[in-house]
Structure 1
């Protein structure tokens, strides 16, 4: 993920999909699909936790498909 800092920023600024975490209502999962990554076609997921006064990235990872959860944002 070290080489994907630009993509992580892009996902946060312009996500294709945002879902609410099923296990923590203060966490959002931001997704964008990339046809070419070092491991093939994948979704990049950036997990963000929100508090009353701040928000911060918990983790980011590549995945075959978005996790289940309430859809908050979708670009069709």
Structure 2
């Protein structure tokens, strides 16, 4: 996978270690290309409550290996770098400040 780009045009690194971590979860093996899609066209982006530099990108997928779920991609966005921490499937969107779509 080449470096994904988010909805703001920001390139995000996905290290081999983080890629292996994500793919260590069997349900994520079929979702690897959906990570780029979720970053590029999220339905919602939330500011992390626990880390001011982290953002949670969400997109709903009606068909995943474990049923209808949101894909959450967590990326750290410091000033000089941007990289993917993890990605997982979830039933719901976490609480926090909504960064996208703008109100």
Normalised TM-score (structure 2): 0.70
Two-structure CA RMSD over aligned residues (Å): 1.2
Give the 5 Å matches for 1:1-76.
1-74=28-101
Secondary structure of 1:40 counterpart: coil
Q: Distance in 1 between matches of 2:49 and 2:58?
A: 15
Task: Return structure 1 stretches of 4+ with deviation > 6 angstroms.
Answer: none
Aligned-residue offset at 1:25: 0.8
Kindly tell me the number of residue pairs found equivalent between the two proteins: 75
Q: Distance in 1 between matches of 2:43 and 2:86?
A: 18
Normalised TM-score (structure 1): 0.93
Higher relative contact order (CA 8 A, sep 6+): 1
Q: Distance in 2 between matches of 1:43 and 1:7?
A: 11
Secondary structure of 2:62 counterpart: strand
Secondary structure of 2:92 counterpart: coil
